[in-house]
Amino acid sequence: MKVYRIPLGNFMANCYIVETSRKNAAVIDPGGDYPKLKGLLEEHKLCVKKILLTHGHYDHFGAAAQAAAENDAEIFIHENDAPMLTSRTLSLADAIGNGEFNCAEKFTVIKDGDKITLDELEFEVIHTPGHTKGGLCYKCEDSLFTGDTLFKLSMGRTDFPGGSMGEIFDSLKKLSELDGDFNVYPGHNETSTLSFERKNNPYLKGNPYEDSI
């Protein structure tokens, strides 16, 4: 498989395009700027079949509805975050300050342990609440798409509605205990590896706030 990274939207959220051997694609978190995303897809002659959302904040799904409609693609999201796809308030679209709101009314809800198959690729769904109640990571071969749960040397915010400090540390522990090493593709900023994060990310070494909570 091939993975392309393209930051999209006002907050430059990372969107990932995962290419199969048959030139189909899974798009993870199309956060906005659909023409820019479409240009990359056309450049590599890819056909979008699946749209995988890591969570329901608008900076991660702003272009999902248009991408799904133009490509007859299926959108996937955890059931806990599904209401965000049709709500400016719940999705933080108003807080982000984006005048437009492209709601996604057609989607498939998924849960921890589900598998999403596209050609030879299988994406395993890992429920990682903490940034939002329905936060997800996707594991595929040697790649781990972590959304706003795990960043390089950091973690996602927990001060938005639905966020939880305790839950995100449980989720980070869950990721750190995965067998083997993975390329880490986060929702913002640089890519990393899970082995690097286990060694260097202070938030994967346990909850530093545990004694004060």
pLDDT digits (tens, 9 = 90+) for 25-56: 999 999 989 999 999 999 999 999 999 999 99
| Beta-sheet pairing, 108-110 with 115-118 | unpaired
Residue 74 has pLDDT above 60, yes or no: yes
Q: What is the pTM of this model?
A: 0.94
Q: What is the CATH number of the domain that holds 142?
A: 3.60.15.10
The percent of residues above 90 in pLDDT, for the chain, comes to 89
The pLDDT score that the predictor gives to residue 97 is 64
Could you read off the pLDDT of 104-157 as tens digits, one per residue? 999 999 999 999 999 999 999 999 999 999 999 999 999 999 999 999 999 999
CB 59 within 8 A of CB 33: no
What confidence tier does 98 reach under pLDDT thresholds 50, 70, 90?
A: low
Domain that includes residue 83, residue range: 2-212
CA 37 – CA 149 distance, rounded (Å)? 23
| Gap between the Cα atoms of 134 and 114, Å rounded | 14
How much is the mean pLDDT over the chain? 94
Q: What is the mean pLDDT of residues 68-85?
A: 97
The domain total for the chain is 1
Q: How confident is the model at residue 96 (pLDDT cuts 50, 70, 90)?
A: confident
Q: What is the pLDDT of residues 185-211, one digit of tens each?
A: 999 999 999 999 999 999 998 776 554
Residue 203: C-alpha distances to residues 90, 125, 157, 191, 210 (Å): 27, 22, 12, 17, 12
Is pLDDT at 169 greater than 60 in this prediction? Answer: yes
Question: What is the per-residue pLDDT for 100?
Answer: 80
Tokens of 17: 């395009």
